Amino acid sequence: MKNLLLFIALACLLGCAQKTAEEKAAEAELASIYACSADGHCTHDHDNSLADLQSALAEKPDDLVLKTKVIHKAIGENHPKLAVEHCLSILEQDPENEYATSHLATGLAELGDLNKAMYYAAKNLAKHPSAFNHLIVGHIFYRQGRVDQAGEMFQKALDLEPGNVDALEGVERCQVSAK
């Protein structure tokens, strides 16, 4: 998991190169969130409650940094519907936003809408063939009962990022399920 989170942090930072100043701030915020999660040492302020973040967002509804904080907090506190709403909001502003698309797919899967989740996950994977996006598609395939395809996705994630714990666990889970 640590490697995956560091990979996501790096992807967020690299994604900043072609973004507006506001989008760069949002991407940097995401990178810091993922880096904090990965190394366990965090100087970043994550103490805002979900309610506080939503109140701040009500005052600044177009603030991408606040939206990403709400999504992160909503996912962490198991509120996939709220995360999906904010992902859709970001995608209205930036239809190509990789973070919003991947978390939209994850949120939809958590809500049980696996077909729609797969649509967004596959679309994102085609544009951004990262280990993280292969993992998302793999998890959705697994939840659909498509264990062989899930195993392939987990293996591709592992090929892209050797030692990725989530990919290793996915491959093992698929091997056990196939027996």
Percentage of residues in the chain having pLDDT higher than 70? 74
Predicted local distance difference test score (pLDDT) of residue 20: 60
Q: Which of 153, 57, 164, 48 is nearest to 105 (CA)?
A: 153
Rounded to an integer, what distance in angstroms lies between the CA atom of residue 21 and that of residue 26? 9
pTM of the entire structure?
Answer: 0.71
Q: Which amino acid belongs to residue 57?
A: L
- For the cut 80, the answer to whether the pLDDT of residue 9 exceeds it is no
pLDDT of residue 28: 52
Bigger pLDDT: 99 or 22? 99
Domain boundaries, the chain: 129-179
pLDDT computed for residue 22 by the predictor? 56
Report which residue type is found at 151. G
Interval 121-146: pLDDT, tens:
999 999 999 999 999 999 999 999 99
The CA-based angle 87-91-93, given to 5 degrees, is 125
Residues 112-124: tens digit of each pLDDT: 999 999 999 999 9
119, 59, 68: which is closest to 89 by C-alpha? 68
Q: Which pLDDT does position 39 carry in this prediction?
A: 39
pLDDT of 11 higher than 70:
no
Q: What pLDDT score does 1 carry?
A: 43
* pLDDT value of residue 25: 53
Residue 30: what pLDDT?
Answer: 53
- Please determine, for residue 109, whether its predicted confidence score (pLDDT) is greater than 90: yes
pLDDT surpasses 60 at 67 = yes
Helix locations, 15-79, DSSP H: 21-39, 50-59, 64-76
Mean per-residue pLDDT for 17-34? 53
Using a 10 angstrom Cβ sphere, with 0-12 exposed, 13-18 middle and 19 or more buried, the burial of residue 61 is exposed
Q: Is the pLDDT of residue 36 over 50?
A: no
Tell me what pLDDT residue 93 has.
Answer: 85
Mean pLDDT across the chain: 81
